[in-house]
Amino acid sequence: MRFDSYITKGIGGFYYVKTADGIVECKARGIFRKKKISPVAGDFVRLATEAGQTVIDEILPRKNVFIRPPIANLDVLFIVVSTTQPVPSTRVIDKLTAIAVHKGVKPVLVLTKTDLAPDGGLAALYRHAGIDTICVDYSDPDGLRRVQSYIPDHICAVCGNSGVGKSTLLNALLPGQQRETGGISQKLGRGRHTTREVELLEAFGGLLADTPGFASLDTSRALHIPKEELQHAFPEFAPYFGKCRFTGCAHMAETGCAVKQALEEGKIEPSRYESYAALYEEAKDVKEWQLR
Single residue among 216, 244, 265 that ends a domain in this structure: 216
CA distance 161 to 175: 22
CA distance 282 to 220: 10
Q: 242: Cβ–Cβ under 8 A, 6 or more apart, which residues?
A: none
pLDDT of residue 188: 34
- Domain range for 21 is 6-60
CA distance 251 to 97: 19
Q: Indicate the SS3 state at residue 99.
A: helix
Backbone angles phi, psi at 10, to 5 degrees: -135, 130
> Which is more confident, 115 or 100?
100
CATH of the domain at 30: 2.40.50.140
Give percent above pLDDT 90 in the chain: 60
For helices 270-284 and 90-102, give the axis angle rounded to 10 degrees: 70
- Alpha-carbon distances, residue 187 vs 83, 94, 184 (angstroms): 19, 26, 9
- Number of structural domains (the chain) is 3
Q: What is the mean predicted confidence (pLDDT) over 238-253?
A: 95
Same domain, 93 and 111: yes
pLDDT tens per residue, range 128-149: 999 999 999 888 889 999 999 9
> Which is more confident, 48 or 185?
48
pLDDT tens per residue, range 34-78: 888 999 999 999 999 988 899 999 999 999 998 878 899 999 999
> Which is more confident, 85 or 266?
266
Give yes or no for residue 187 having a pLDDT over 50: no
pLDDT of residue 190: 43
Give yes or no for residue 163 having a pLDDT over 50: yes
Q: What is the mean predicted confidence (pLDDT) over 154-172?
A: 87
Same domain, 107 and 83: yes
Between CA 256 and CA 264, with CA 259 as vertex, the angle to 5 degrees is 90
For residue 13, give the amino acid letter.
G
Single residue among 163, 183, 216 that ends a domain in this structure: 216
Output the average pLDDT for the chain: 86
CA distance 87 to 234: 23
> Which is more confident, 292 or 49?
49
Is 1 part of a structural domain of the chain?
Answer: no
Least confident of 108-122, 179-193, 211-225, 238-252: 179-193
In our burial notation (b when 16+ CB lie closer than 10 A, e otherwise), range 125-139 reads bbebbbbebbbbeee
